[in-house]
Chains A and B, each alone.
Chain A
Amino acid sequence: MRYISEFRDAALAHRLAKAIAAEARADREYHFMEFCGGHTHAIFRYGVQDLMPQNVQFVHGPGCPVCVLPVRRLDDAIELAECQDVILCTYGDMMRVPGTGRQSLIRAKAEGADIRMVYSTLDALKIARENPDREIVFFAIGFETTTPPTAVAIKQAEAEDLGNFSVFCNHVLTPPAIAHILDSPDFESGGPARVDGFLGPSHVSTVIGSKPYESTSCAYRKPVVIAGFEPLDVMQSVLMLVRQVNEDRAEVENEYTRVVRRDGNRKAQALMAEVLDVRESFEWRGLGDVPKSALRINDRHRAFDAENRFALTEKQSREVKSCECPAVLRGVKKPTECKLFGTVCTPDNPMGACMVSSEGACAAYWSYRRNRQAPASDAR
């Protein structure tokens, strides 16, 4: 498969592995956080950790859009789906995530709610056109990658005067989350976790560019390398991070040059700015309230905001007790350190979002590595 298999070449991987082993200094450890779940899964699916020297460790970050959505917002979405006349449109990944009392969208659907899985916001618009007597709510989640399509849908609905279409907006922003993690006491020296650099987001960066990470990298003295999602991208980026650490540099470098530019996609950014505002604060599962870390629909497009159109009730939302998703998302614990992992919590019977999502760290450990008694990456 051209343009894909080149980035999965075993011979090149071994050359890179040798280079990393040669350049990583034996007298120190390297802890690199891969922000995105897409990286986590590439690392596990291809066995990249097996090719790393013992002292190069991956710390799994919160970049799984399904995982960071707090239970309260999922409970809200289930409530919306159960409203009279509503059709809730959602991306497939959300369907099986457990909310309060382990209710989920897929169960609400089985119990009668009209929930449709869509592949794009355009599908949701189509459903709105075909069902003028129904209220169509699009359950918008994700980082900057999935945000421009949401903005396009709102603009399109406005142009077509689709009065029965609205968006339950849960889009979140990457750079504030990285700064928030570095601010947390967990990552202070002597704290329970450590990070020496970041594998920067791939697809998010195609939209926002590499520039937004520069101030954080500089202020916190942490190198960032924007990395593609293929295994060779990950390995090349690790090598670049090792070099930065060895040379005591803290810069934003771009390994994913075939797609990412410093300024990103300006058209997409303009679309987002036209329709969406930054929220003062937003709750992330695991990270808590993070200032200026999410988007809401702006006043001009208020008519398309589901939070404005429907009166959502106050809820006593809660996570499953002793589920360690929050600590896993902060990079403080490995999935295998959770009491529920692999015993009561499996992909068939998930207790937390990280076990459900195809980008969740727990699902990656379970699906690809559960045969290892003591995975090398757990030696900390």
Chain B
Amino acid sequence: MIDQVAVDMTHGGGGRAMADLISDLFIRHLGNPILARGDDGAVVDTPGARLVLSTDGHVVAPLFFPGGDIGVLSVHGTINDLAMMGARPVYMTAGFVLEEGFPLADLDRIVGSMGKAARAAGVQVVSGDTKVVEKGKGDGVFITTTGLGAVPDGVAISAAHARPGHAILLSGTIGDHGVAILSKRENLGFETDILSDTAALHGLVAAMVAAVPDIAVLRDPTRGGLAAALNEIAAASRVGMVLDEAAIPIRPDVAAACELLGLDPLNTANEGKLIAICPAERSGRLLEAMRSHPLGRAAAIIGTVTEDPATIVQMETSFGGARVVDWMSGEQLPRIC
């Protein structure tokens, strides 16, 4: 519900404020049946092929962080949006907004990482655009990438396809990217070996689809973390979920950093992880396929889809109680005491 006069930071946090902005403003003006599906990418049927299109804008502070930079993120982010539709990424375009005064050496490093990431993924960047804004009108560099991918026949993956009884799988540890970024924020510097998990997930997805072609849902839990992604799926599929806290993989140092900062790892960003939902009887085979891939070694079955018109995501805590897993309102903020 938008009842205010200006965009504020909550509208970009990946929480419900952003979801409301999309549904109340963007969909109102731009809505069509494909956009209305609310998926990470749009599957468009063209003569002879099923294609997926997806676009992603990248703003990150700091531009360089442990394990990556904005360049590699802008390639992986869009590849992953395509991969979450079960697609094989083929082409990309990139738009740059540069701030006057931005060091060319830094730009060279960023675009260098983009090239390396794209080549590694077998994707060509085939078109681009550059704009420069006056000093103070931008934050160094913003990058928007758009990707085009092809979906194999028989694959029908969508956030709306989760059904009661389905199993929920996660490809690895949560919160690594969010904590790596926070550790380098100017006003919050702390010593850690935690690296961003940024990775292109299409290879993992290809192995998963080959093993279990009827995967119902794939989603990469980026901004807003696991909690936001699961709530989005629950809302799109009109189902509930029950998670097992003890089964959710998390690195001890990430858990410790989140404790210290008063953050919930369930709300913390990832850039190289995915959630998969599939029929329960195929969950064992899917888990095996994930664990056989380098990006899914720590994969786990973390819960079950349930029937629940209220679309609530619940969790049985390791402590022996039960609670709701909510998505955040706006940005996750460290608490006072």
Contact = CB atoms under 8 A, between A and B. Distances in A.
A96 B10 contact: yes
B110 to A, nearest CB: 26
Contacts of B4: 107, 110
Q: Size class of B's contact patch?
A: 35 or more
B16 interface: yes
Contacts of B8: 106-107, 109-110
Contact of A50 (B3, B7, B321, B328): B321
Given A65-B336, A119-B187, A371 B324 contact: yes
B187 A10 contact: no
Interface of B (DSSP majority class): loop
Contacts of B252: 1
B27 to A, nearest CB: 17
A359 B321 contact: no
B5 A111 contact: yes
B100 interface: no
A364 to B, nearest CB: 10
Interface of B: 1, 3-10, 15-17, 20, 187-188, 252, 255-256, 259, 262, 310, 312, 314, 317-324, 326, 328-330, 333-337
A371 B310 contact: yes
Interface stretch (A40-48, A179-187, A260-268): A40-48
Contacts of B329: 96, 346-348, 350
A156 interface: no
A253 to B, nearest CB: 22
25 contacts: A1-B259, A4-B256, A4-B259, A10-B318, A10-B320, A14-B320, A47-B320, A48-B321, A50-B321, A51-B321, A65-B336, A66-B336, A92-B333, A106-B330, A107-B6, A110-B8, A118-B187, A119-B188, A123-B187, A146-B336, A347-B328, A348-B1, A348-B329, A370-B312, A371-B314
A142 to B, nearest CB: 6
A326 interface: no
B212 to A, nearest CB: 31
A143 interface: yes
B326 A366 contact: yes
A78 interface: no
* A-B pairs, 7 with minimum CB distance: A47-B321, A92-B333, A110-B6, A110-B8, A347-B329, A46-B319, A368-B323
A92 B182 CA distance: 15
A93 B333 contact: yes
Interface in A166-198: none
Contacts of B328: 347
A164 interface: no
B292 to A, nearest CB: 29
Interface in A1-16: 1, 4, 8, 10, 13-14
A45 B323 contact: yes
Nearest to B312: A371
Contacts of A371: 310, 312, 314, 324
Given A1-B256, A106-B10, A146-B337, 11 more contacts: A8-B319, A46-B319, A47-B320, A92-B335, A106-B8, A107-B5, A109-B8, A110-B8, A358-B333, A359-B335, A368-B323
B323 A106 contact: no
Given A142-B337, A349-B1, A359-B335, A111 B6 contact: yes
Nearest to A17: B320
A111 B4 CA distance: 10
A329 interface: no
Contacts of A107: 4-6, 8
Contacts of B337: 38, 65, 142-143, 145-146, 203
Contacts of B323: 44-47, 368-369
Contacts of A358: 262, 333, 335
B46 to A, nearest CB: 38
Nearest to B262: A358
Given A13-B319, A95-B333, A119-B188, A367 B326 contact: yes
A126 to B, nearest CB: 8
Given A8-B319, A13-B319, A45-B323, A93 B336 contact: yes
Contacts of A61: none
A66 B333 CA distance: 13
A147 B324 CA distance: 33
B336 A348 contact: no
Nearest to B252: A1
Contacts of B188: 119
Nearest to A106: B8
Given A93-B335, A109-B8, A348 B319 contact: no
